[in-house]
Chains A and B, each alone.
Chain A
Amino acid sequence: MRVFKILALFMAIALLLISSPDFISAQDEDAEYDDAAYEALLEKGKEYYNARCEACHGADGDGKGFVDIIRVSEKNGRVLEIYPRDFTVGVYKFRSTATGCLPDDKDLMGTVKRGITKSLMPPQDNISSEETEAVVEYVKSFSERYEEEDPCDQISVADPPVWVASEKSIEKGKKIYKDMKCWECHGDLGKGDGPKSNDITDDWGKRLLPFNFVTGELKRGSTAENVYMTFTAGLDGTGMPSYQDTLNEEDRWHLVSYTLKLMGLTESDKKTASH
């Protein structure tokens, strides 16, 4: 069911991208906005932001809204402390660009649409594409980074190889998991309880807990492509580095297989679950 939902979401996004060529062209002509139109866009974005985002992310986009820290108790009793993103820094986890880069606008828009249900950021499913664009533009305006840098190119992801999630690939992934010391944070069994798990902080000194594969779904969505993108682009601001340079593409896909196995999302897992 969930898979179906995610799939539907992707289909919707894909359809959206294909069906609105002027949307894409607007992207390309970003710099050519005239000031008045840009102001109007920002105004629209601000309105939406204040109604929907301000409570958590704060009126100034510094992540210090009235809601403050959100606490989530995972199924194993581990309590995650979630801080709403500080937009003034301009560092984002969910990108399809190389590590250290600004995210592509599509990444931000995707996050707004999809929400981050794992962190209780609600999906904005009834938002129009103009509104999304406006709110993303407004969010970008909080950070000075956007005035100085341009987003890097998106990393293209091919379809996952057919052998992903196969027995052999899982075995190889398991070895990589061991060799690359993933277990130091994520634990031997992927429960997020590795030896270093207790002293990880993000770039701003707040405590982070490594992802627990066994109980959770991935924040950006648990498809093979998303897992692959996490390995490739890294999660900026956290302890999760990019493996674009250290692992070749094939190895990353093997690691994806093993991750899916830990999350119980391979075909054989589903079969046993349905029994």
Chain B
Amino acid sequence: MHSRFYLSLLLISSLVLMMFIGMGVYREMTSEWKTYQTEYKNMLVRNAEDDAARKRAEKLEIGLRQNYVASLNKSDRCMSCHIGVENPYMAKADQPFTLHSGDYIENHPVDKFGCTICHYGQGRATNKKEAHGKGHTHWDYPIIPTKYIQSACAKCHDYKMLQEEGAELVVKGEKLFREKGCRGCHKLNGVGGDLGKALDGIGSKPRAYYAMKHVVGEHTAYNWIKQHFDDPRAIVPTSEMRVFMEEDESDLLTTYIFSIREEEMPSKYRFLKNIVTPPRDGESLYKMFCVACHGSGKISVYDEIFDRTIPAITNPPFLRSADNKTIKNIVMEGRGGTQMTSWKTTASGLKEEDVDKIVEYVASSRTYERPEPFNYLEFQTNIDSGMRLYNNRCSYCHGKEGKGGNRQLGINLKNSTVQQVLDPEFLALTIRDGREGTPMPSFGGDGLGLSDQNIADVVAYVKTFGKKK
């Protein structure tokens, strides 16, 4: 009866401890992978064709399988469950035992490549939830959906080879990336616009890089990228991204996006047969950097995303009044206060010769008739009269003081390019003749009836916007 309290405490605690140690051992014994391996072993034994095969099957050791590839720094334990991945007899088996599809593992043996180098997921994990890394697992790189798996091929192979040998999805994605004008806003390898985030290593950004709030379904980077191609503002409400996808284009681009990775493959894994550099002629460059906003450039459109008019830049009336030098100036300087950023080499990484090519392409539909010149300097300009005219005739599109945008059709006149780079003749011509194909009407004689003197006055007034008061 003595020390009853402490002895009872000791007895109960010891029993509880033993119970939990036992439960811990039991949990180890019945882990997910052990269950799968036992099932696999039984399957092999049951389906063995002869005694020798049965003996081999019975000798199968149940234990963790690890594929350690030192040069890739990968320790993949996927085969602890996907144990039949190299067994040709498992072609028709269900997951997780099934043979790897296609003939990929012939050239990419599992013991040299592992699994996560292509499929991602958490190779070190030994249960399905953690290994596949979906949902709330605190793993940055969940297993990649098979529709995007070709992004992994591009880590080692060149696009020509991929095109020829059955990885055309990522090739198409790469082409789309060039032709949708993604780099008009996003820098890649230091070249591109500044409106969006740089895309270097975007494919290996961790999960936390993305704001997952609006993503439908699993909160993975794959879903984020795919869904934001489909509808940028559904994922990032304040996004200014202009990208409009047809059917499977978003999948293709997503595939390409995940091939842009930070980590480099060791050279012995890379297999570059024939690298073909993508074309860098004027049209390709225009597509790469301009097309996202300007489209074909033939018509001008008021854009609700930018909340301002995106001017037409390849229509003949524009080209008639703007020579290559003017266009190049606009491109190089950009238009301050608008989404048109500067394309100087220092700002965009684009070489000057490339800008020349783009300008040449833009100007290629120029007809060689020149407009009747407007000798601005001959006029005695009256800024007050210009102001009155501007406020009466121009301000309801271009806004007071030429700010433009915000549900006003006219473009911004206040930026430094208009104020400093463009000469008054150019402005006067534009006012007099208007811009066909854009909402800018002709204000000159036959049009809305302003005299040349009036036009000169307006130009003089417009040119005062840049001055600081």
Contact = CB atoms under 8 A, between A and B. Distances in A.
B302 A68 contact: no
B201 interface: no
Interface in B407-445: 407-409, 434, 439-442
The size class of the interface chain A forms with chain B is: 20 to 34
B407 A117 contact: yes
B22 interface: no
A252 B304 CA distance: 30
Nearest to A65: B441
Contacts of B440: 67
Interface in B246-305: 299-305
B447 A73 contact: no
Given A68-B439, A73-B304, A52 B396 contact: yes
A76 B244 contact: yes
A73 B211 CA distance: 27
B448 interface: yes
B211 to A, nearest CB: 14
A79 interface: yes
Contact of B302 (A66, A75, A120, A215): A120
A66 B441 contact: yes
A70 B302 contact: yes
B429 to A, nearest CB: 15
Contacts of B393: 51
Contacts of B231: 76
A72 B304 contact: yes
A203 B302 CA distance: 25
Interface residues of B, number: 26
A122 B408 contact: yes
A55 interface: yes
Given A77-B244, A120-B408, A66 B305 contact: no
Given A51-B392, A54-B448, A215 B304 contact: yes
A52 B394 CA distance: 9
A58 B206 CA distance: 57
Contacts of B392: 51-52
B409 A70 contact: yes
Contacts of B304: 72-75, 215
Contacts of B303: 72-73
Nearest to B439: A67
Contacts, number: 57
Contacts of B244: 76-77
B439 A122 contact: no
A56 B299 CA distance: 17
Interface in A43-67: 50-52, 54-56, 65-67
Interface in A83-128: 117, 120, 122, 124
A76 B241 CA distance: 10
A187 to B, nearest CB: 14
A71 interface: yes
B444 to A, nearest CB: 10
Q: Which of A55, A77, A120, A215 has the most CB of B within 10 A?
A: A55
Given A66-B447, A120-B407, A75 B441 contact: no
B153 interface: no
Contact of A73 (B233, B301, B408): B301
A73 B409 contact: no
Contact of A66 (B242, B300, B448): B448
A70 B397 contact: no
Contacts of B242: 77
A121 to B, nearest CB: 9
B301 A66 contact: no
B441 A79 contact: no
Contact of B448 (A55, A79, A122, A215): A55
Nearest to A66: B441
Contacts of B233: 75
Interface string B210-247: 00000000000000000000010100000000101000
A111 to B, nearest CB: 15
B305 A75 contact: yes
Contacts of A68: 439
Nearest to B391: A126
Given A65-B441, A117-B407, A122 B301 contact: no
B302 A71 contact: yes
A70 B442 CA distance: 15
B299 A71 contact: yes
A242 B152 CA distance: 56
Given A117-B407, A120-B408, A73 B305 contact: yes
Nearest to B442: A66
Contacts of A67: 409, 439-441
A219 B418 CA distance: 32
Interface of B: 231, 233, 242, 244, 299-305, 310, 392-393, 396-397, 407-409, 434, 439-442, 447-448
Given A73-B302, A122-B397, A122-B407, 6 more contacts: A51-B393, A65-B441, A67-B441, A70-B302, A73-B304, A76-B231
- The 5 A-B pairs of least Cβ separation, nearest first, read A66-B441, A77-B244, A122-B396, A67-B439, A71-B301
18 contacts: A51-B393, A52-B396, A54-B448, A55-B441, A67-B409, A70-B409, A71-B299, A71-B300, A72-B303, A73-B302, A73-B303, A73-B310, A75-B304, A77-B242, A120-B407, A120-B408, A122-B408, A215-B304
